[in-house]
Amino acid sequence: MTIYETERLVIRNWTQEPADLARVFDTYSRSEVVRHLGAPQFPLRTPSAAEETVRRWHDRNARFGAATYGIWAVQRREDGLVVGTVMLKPMPGVDESRLTDDIEVGWHLHPDSWGHGYATEAARGAVERGFAAGVAEIYAVVAPGNEASMSVARRLGMASIGRRADWYGGEELETFRLPRP
């Protein structure tokens, strides 16, 4: 199912199809992708772990309402290659009755798709989606030292507000904020 489109990209749900699962595994088993994520499930060690990852994302999307939030595949329009993941979602620990507070935009791309502007383009569409749904401000949180992701946040027009440890188990993360225009 298509969630939204940009000039070069189609943002859609991840599927349990073999091509999607292979791409999830290939992306999230790579140390250069997961080194900044701080998530205990990564790196993926077996192809079956990709299936569980996609199932977890579907469960989370359903819980938070696919109409606005989700963790989605980023597919290149020209040839159908999935270049990575984009997300617009409540931060961990957000009160589920107040789903417009502490909303995060994020992105994870396969290394073969770095440097083409896909992260910025996909994330810009997610930010627009959040603002259209009434979100007052959107955050990006980035591991210290992840200069590429900090650059994406800046290209989105987000301002650095320093390091915060409000989410993700108290880990100090570089935090960027963008208020609704």
pLDDT value of residue 92: 82
Sequence length of the chain is 181
pLDDT value of residue 137: 95
Residue with tokens 């088993």: 29
Which residues of 60-169 form beta strands (DSSP E)?
70-76, 82-90, 103-109, 137-142, 159-164
What is the signed CA dihedral for 63, 173, 168, 16, rounded to 10 degrees? 50
Higher pLDDT, 66 or 128: 128
3-41 burial: b if 16+ Cβ within 10 Å, else e: bbebebbbbbbbeeeeebbebbbbbbbeeebbebbeeee
What is the signed CA dihedral for 108, 112, 115, 118, rounded to 10 degrees? -50
pLDDT in tens, 115-125: 999 999 999 99
pLDDT value of residue 75: 98
pLDDT value of residue 98: 57
What counts of helices (H) and strands (E) characterise the chain?
5, 8
Gap between the Cα atoms of 51 and 99, Å rounded: 27
38 has pLDDT over 80: no
Pick the CATH number of 2-179 from 3.30.9.80, 3.30.750.24, 3.40.630.30, 3.30.379.10: 3.40.630.30
State the chain's mean pLDDT as an integer. 92
pLDDT value of residue 91: 87
Q: What φ, ψ does residue 117 adopt, rounded to 5°?
A: 85, 10
48 has pLDDT over 90: yes
Question: Where in the chain are the domains?
Answer: 2-179
Percentage of the chain modeled with pLDDT above 90: 79
171 has pLDDT over 80: yes
pLDDT in tens, 118-159: 999 999 999 999 999 999 999 999 999 999 999 999 999 999
